[in-house]
Amino acid sequence: ARKFFVGGNFKMNGTKESIKSIIKNLNEAKLDPNVEVVIAPSHIFLPIAVDAVTASNVAVAAQNVSNKPNGAHTGEVSVSQLKDIGVNWTITGHSERRAAGESDEEVALKTKAAIDGGLSVIWCCGESLEEREAGKTVEVVEKQLAALAEKVSGDDWKKIVIAYEPIWAIGTGKVATTEQAQEVHAAIRKWLRTNVSDSVADETRILYGGSVTAKNCKDLAKQEDIDGFLVGGASLKPEFVDIINSNQ
């Protein structure tokens, strides 16, 4: 069985005090021990987060990473720098990074560089409203997956968690229906089965992200191919604990 997974993407939010307070809440909460939790604060707060986490099933992720080794890349952060401060995860390909110019190929290169450097990755995909309305949802996601599969192989897949985040659902309060989400999750799993392997299709966690709240998470969690969530806004609030515990 795939272990339920809940990520918190804090995006460009928080202060050192608010990050510490969110983590204190998580440390003190009764978290379902069968859930893997990963929180992703801004780079500058990563050392604070690594120090503050005491809950055994909570890990810390970066929101982005460079695909290049250390060197002359002003403003970037490398995989080895993340490892150096005790970060073992990164998000790649969030739609907000893709909107800032990251191509499918660059996202795949970052994912591969992260894995080669010893990080696990929450790799994000998802369609825009325009693409959904044109009936291109699965096509877009498959194209993103194909670019990833060109760069990663074999055991790399064991280090990847996929997050399906329809762009029209992110930060809008317009959550995908359980049917809409399950349909794309099933298509992703089918693509993995056809193009990678049965074991990768069976073992890879596929998260849903986009306006997840304590209210809507329970029904989504019941869907066969939804193995957890990547939560934005609600991960900054106490209800994040209810989302973590939504699979109980």
Q: How far is the CB of 148 from ligand 13P (least distance, A)?
A: 17
Confirm if 83 and 50 have CB atoms less than 8 A apart. Answer: no
Write the single-letter amino acid at 170: I
* Token code pair at residue 223: 């869907």
Binding mask 203-222 vs ligand 13P (x if CB under 6 A, - otherwise)?
------xxxx----------
Q: Are 164 and 208 in contact (CB under 8 A)?
A: yes
Beta carbon nearer to ligand 13P, 201 or 209: 209
Minimal distance, residue 227 CB to ligand 13P, in Å: 15
Answer whether 36's CB lies under 8 Å from 4's CB.
Answer: yes
Among residues 127 and 196, whose Cβ is nearest to ligand 13P?
127
**CB-based closest residue to ligand 13P:** 232
Residues assigned a catalytic role? 94, 165
Closer to ligand 13P by CB, 119 or 201: give it: 119
Residue 232 binds to ligand 13P (criterion: CB under 6 A): yes
By beta-carbon proximity to ligand 13P, the closer residue of 14 and 201 is 14
Give CA separation, 243 vs 37, 203, 229, in Å.
11, 22, 8
Q: How far is the CB of 153 from ligand 13P (least distance, A)?
A: 26
Q: Which of 229, 131, 137, 122 is nearest to 183 (CA)?
A: 137
Which residues in 92-121 contact ligand 13P (CB under 6 A)?
A: 94
E strands, the chain, in order: 4-9, 35-40, 58-62, 89-92, 120-125, 160-164, 206-209, 228-231
List interacting residues with ligand 13P (CB under 6 A).
9, 94, 165, 170-171, 209-212, 230-234
